[in-house]
Amino acid sequence: MPQKISPLTSVRFFLASFVLFHHSVRTFFPAFSSRGTHGVPQGFLGIVSFAFPVAVSFFYLLSGYVLSLVYLRDGQTIDKSRFFAARFARLYPLYFVMLVAATPELLAWEVQRHGMKIGMTKTVTIFAANVAMVQVWYPRRLLRINPPSWSLCGEVFFYICFPLLGTLLWKLRGARLWMSAVALYVGGQALVWGMRTQLSFEMAMVLPPFHLTTFALGILLARWQTLQQGQWDKERISAWHVNAVLGLSVGGVALSAHLVPWFRVAAPYNNGLLVPIFAGFIWALSAVSTPLSRWLCGRWLVAMGNSSYALYLIHTPMLALFRHYQWVTHAFYPVYLALCVGLSVLSFHYFETPVRLWFMERFDSKYNRHNLIVSSSSPVTVIGVQSPSTP
């Protein structure tokens, strides 16, 4: 994997922190809860607290970008079995653990509302849907355990599409690449804004097909950057150029936050509207080495970036725990943040990484043994003579 991905790994920590801030700050600081009609935030604090969910769109764009550099950059054929195994090993173990940890809260709530029998039945149904990662397709009834998990269902949908979608998009170059990028962005936004009036707000925000174009644009960004790499080697991009793009991207995000009330709808940016700005960030941090990208390559920041997935999953159950014990005063917020970050780092190093390596070792062992059996049992003809093929 290219070393230029390291700064983007660190960025993931800040993105996950933005999501954490969005979900938690109003609990500890009610002043951030100011909203008007239709859920539109009001005032500076309200706008700040409700602006950060756009981080999920950045995650989706970054996911398409990084997966393409890892699996498509050298033009190799994607080994689907190993691709899906690797994605499962990275995504599912911690997801399942946090699902189990967060389910008792749902069970207590359902039993309190409906009684033991009905409450347990509803909880089992919701739990089963979450185990299968299909809760996002009926969010009003099923997205009840650790709500941030909706975006992981989107990732699973993208993984299923990636072997075919990524291979097709990676063949594009020149004008066809740019035309496809514009068509995906404009068409995706037209679909989302057109369906907002036909679906509930929740459905419009979380359904994976409404985010697929963001993921696909990440693939095209990686493709374009790879095609330009040879030219960049000959004509070194100036630091001024990179800093200008980065500055415009920062300014675009800041301006977009102030424009949220202008849309008169809640969460106007959650479906990839800011993708061009996010693409500027990714390009500026990966095109050439700059002081900022070198700082983001620091070992401690990369370590925090690697722990961002755990931070994304852990912060909501931890918030429920603080609410249960009424530890929600201003003074407890630093404690909450420290526990979330600390547990995330521990999770990555002492749970996620060992489990992922263990799973992939077992998978590779069985996969190679299966290929050996198939290969040994399939005769091939060499110069008119049949002989067993070698692994």
In the structure, what pLDDT confidence band is assigned to residue 376 with cuts at 50, 70 and 90?
A: low
Query: Distances from the Cα of 135 to the Cαs of 95, 154, 213, 245, 263, in angstroms?
Result: 13, 11, 21, 38, 29
pLDDT of residue 313 exceeding 80, the answer is yes
- Report whether pLDDT(370) > 70: no
Residue 112, pLDDT above cutoff 50: yes
Residues 289-308: what's their mean pLDDT?
A: 92
Name the more confident of 237 and 317. 317
Please tell me the predicted confidence (pLDDT) of residue 239: 78
> Nearest Cα to 196, choosing from 306, 59, 39, 340?
39
Is the model's pLDDT at 111 over the cut of 70?
Answer: yes
Q: What is the pLDDT of residue 6?
A: 86
Beta strands in 41-192 (DSSP E): none
Do 328 and 37 touch, CB atoms closer than 8 A? no
pLDDT of residue 85 exceeding 70, the answer is yes
Average pLDDT estimate for 33-60:
70
* 3 state SS of 236: coil
Contact 74, 290 (CB under 8 A): no
The span from the CA of 58 to the CA of 111, in Å, is 38
- If one counts every other C-beta atom within 10 angstroms of the C-beta of residue 29, the result is 15
The H helix count followed by the E strand count for the chain is 17, 2
pLDDT band (50, 70, 90) for residue 384:
very low
From the number of C-beta atoms within 10 Å of its C-beta (0-12, 13-18, 19+), residue 384 rates as exposed
Question: Residue 128 and residue 28: Cα distance in Å, rounded?
Answer: 32
Q: In the prediction, which pLDDT does 334 show?
A: 97
Integer Cα distance of 1 and 71 in angstroms = 9
Q: What is residue 388's DSSP assignment?
A: E
The interaxial angle of helices 239-263 and 43-51, nearest 10 deg, is 120
State residue 324's pLDDT score: 93
The token duo for 101 is 């940890």
Token pair 């090993």 is at which residue? 89
Banded pLDDT at 311 (limits 50, 70, 90): very high
- What is the DSSP pairing of strand 385-388 with strand 379-382? antiparallel
pLDDT average, residue stretch 283-300: 89
In angstroms, the CA 70 to CA 79 distance is 12
Q: Which of 37-51, 194-208, 324-338 has the lowest mean pLDDT?
A: 37-51
Condensed to tens digits (0 to 9), the pLDDT of residues 164-188 reads: 999 999 999 999 999 999 999 999 9
The reported pTM is: 0.89
Among 104-118, 233-247, 310-324, which is the least confidently predicted range? 233-247
Neighbouring residues of 267: CB distance < 8 A, sequence distance ≥ 6:
39, 50, 53, 201, 205
Greatest CA separation for the chain:
82
Query: Span 187-195, mean pLDDT?
Result: 94
Q: Which pLDDT does position 290 carry in this prediction?
A: 83
- Average pLDDT rounded to a whole number, residues 321-344: 96
Mean per-residue pLDDT, 344-366: 96
Q: Which of 268, 290, 166, 273 is nearest to 221 (CA)?
A: 166
Task: Find, among 5, 17, 2, 11, the residue nearest to 341 by Cα.
Answer: 17
Asked if residue 269 lies in contact with residue 57, where contact means CB atoms within 8 angstroms, the answer is yes
Q: How far apart are CA 81 and CA 84, in angstroms?
A: 5
Flag whether pLDDT at 44 surpasses 50: yes
Where helices occur in 196-297 by DSSP H, the ranges are: 201-206, 212-234, 239-263, 275-286, 291-296
What is the identity of the amino acid at 73?
R
| pLDDT score at 258 | 80
Per-residue pLDDT band for 387 (boundaries 50, 70, 90) equals very low
Find the distance separating the first CA and the last CA of the chain, reported in whole Å: 27
Band of pLDDT at residue 3, cut at 50, 70 and 90? low
Residue 376 neighbours by CB distance under 10 Å: 12
Is 90 exceeded by the pLDDT of residue 390?
no
Q: What is the pLDDT of residue 259?
A: 82
- 237 falls in which pLDDT band (50, 70, 90)? confident
Residue 2 pLDDT > 60: no
Range of the domain at 19: 3-388
> For residue 379, what pLDDT is reported?
47
The rounded percent of the chain whose pLDDT value lies above 90 is 68
Per-residue pLDDT at 389:
31
Q: What total number of domains does the chain contain?
A: 1
pLDDT at 359: 96
How far is it, in rounded angstroms, from Cα 64 to Cα 13? 18
What would the two tokens of residue 63 be? 């996911």
What pLDDT, in 10s, does the model give residues 13-40?
Answer: 999 998 999 899 889 998 877 665 555 6
Q: How far apart are the C-alpha atoms of 108 and 106, rounded to whole Å? A: 5
For residues 378 and 389, the answer to whether their CB atoms sit within 8 Å is yes
